[in-house]
Amino acid sequence: MRELGELDRPGAPDSPGTWDEHVDELLMGAPETHVRDTDADPTRTRPAAPSTPAARRGTADPVKALMQRHRELCERAVDPLEIAAGLEAHGVTDRTAARFRHRDVFSLAEEMYARVSREADTAPRPTPSPAPRVRADWVLLSLLPGALCAATVAGLRLTGGRVRPAVAILGALAVALAVRAALGRGPLGPRSHPASPGTRPSGTPGSTRVWTCWLLAYALLGDDLLTAALTGVGPGGLPAAVRDLSTAPVLALTLACAPAAWCAHLFAAGARRKLTASRGLADFTAAVKPLLLGAFALFLCASAALVAISATILREPAAWTTTVTLGALLLLARLLTAHGFTHAPAVVLGAASATEATAPATAFASRLPGCSFLATPVDTVVAAWGPAAIPAAACSVAALILLLHATRTLTRASAHAIAGEPG
């Protein structure tokens, strides 16, 4: 987890060096030079007196030098916590602040904010950025995937023959485009970071999209495919084994785009309010963590309700564990990606996808001569808890890892002090 946190930091120091090196430059200033004392002992040297004030600039006022490095951040900040969040995004820690003779980052930010206000009294004070608002465009976009998926499922129920595959392909394409549009705007959309104001927010990595598509495909086909592999169905019988697809999980997941967007909006709005009211980074973290856990629990309840509704309407078994855990995993991955933490979701989603792919792969490989032992672990799990136990275990473990990672990253002030939040 430490490696994930370090790799996913949305801001970074201005150069590849560590912050200790930058602090040494600010505190020590120009290196001391020596001249040879030729009047006395030729082997002795004496320090040369600095000839210009530039040699003493670093040791005289290191905080001022730090303010020069982050001049734009200090000028646009509306309170000390904005500066503290920006410093945190650049890798400044309490240990770094102690070298500037401050107890923590927030104390250092308070001095920087006070000095900017005194030295630039004539400059207009920026308007505090408001909390994210509810907009009609992202509300409609969050409802669109579920509506199109419901229409596709209805079309599959009402058609047959050669028309049915065409309906499935067109419906899947329409739902995919709708999901992409929903994830591009509003609370689930990517955001720019205060460390790079004015820049375009980065999008979702291609690997994350691939793993997400695999997880959704397994939710639709995986259990039937695994059962066919374990029961010895040949290649010719695979189409018949997966002919009666259970569409309730996919319908519930697409319908869950709306509550996911609302939970993300509630979390973002609450975090912005805490960012304005908090008086320190630790205070902000303690206040935001319950918001994150509350929004996550609210989504789990909404997802479970949608699973029950979808299973009842379609008259299919309710895949509670599989669907709810997959929905939780995708929500956490999207929240982290939207706030700029893209590495951990890609790695964890890839691990969950690999786990799910291993189950049918070993089941089919066990049919090779002398390889029947490969299917023993999967066969044991399926015999005890059913084929749904494989994706449920993979997604629940992955969701737990991302939840722990989110409580460390999404509770930082630097993850919410954003510039130009979309939607």
pLDDT single digits (tens) 39-80:
444 444 444 444 444 433 444 677 777 777 777 777 777 667
Q: Let me know whether 311 and 380 are in one domain.
A: yes
pLDDT at 132: 63
- Decide if 47 is inside a domain: no
Q: Let me know whether 190 and 339 are in one domain.
A: yes
Q: Let me know whether 206 and 300 are in one domain.
A: yes
- Decide if 43 is inside a domain: no
- Decide if 5 is inside a domain: no
Beta bridge partners of 45: 36
Q: What φ, ψ does residue 265 adopt, rounded to 5°? A: -65, -45
- Decide if 400 is inside a domain: yes
Q: What string of DSSP letters covers 203-241?
A: ---HHHHHHHHHHHHHHHHHHHHHHHHHTT--GGGHHHH
Q: What φ, ψ does residue 198 adopt, rounded to 5°? A: 85, -5
pLDDT at 198: 41
- Decide if 32 is inside a domain: yes
Q: Domain limits at 96?
A: 10-36+55-119
Q: Let me know whether 171 and 30 are in one domain.
A: no
Q: Which secondary-structure segment (H or E) carries 360?
A: helix 343-365
Summarize pLDDT for 229-241 with one digit per residue, the tens. 888 665 555 555 4
The C-alpha R_g of the chain, in whole angstroms, comes to 28
pLDDT at 24: 52
**CA-CA distance, 282 to 287, in Å (whole number)?**
9
What percent of the chain is helix, strand and coil (3-state, nearest 5)?
70, 0, 30
Q: Let me know whether 254 and 399 are in one domain.
A: yes
Out of 71, 90, 119, pick the residue that ends a domain.
Answer: 119
Q: Let me know whether 230 and 303 are in one domain.
A: yes
Task: Reduce the DSSP state of residue 42 to 3 states and report it.
Answer: coil
How many separate domains does the chain show?
A: 2
Q: Let me know whether 153 and 262 are in one domain.
A: yes
Q: Let me know whether 253 and 142 are in one domain.
A: yes
- Decide if 128 is inside a domain: no
Q: Let me know whether 104 and 206 are in one domain.
A: no
- Decide if 398 is inside a domain: yes
Task: Reduce the DSSP state of residue 190 to 3 states and report it.
Answer: coil
- Decide if 124 is inside a domain: no
**CA-CA distance, 99 to 67, in Å (whole number)?**
15
Q: Let me know whether 361 and 247 are in one domain.
A: yes
pLDDT at 60: 60
Q: Which residue stretches of the chain have pLDDT < 50?
A: 1-19, 26-59, 118-128, 193-200, 241, 418-423
pLDDT at 301: 96
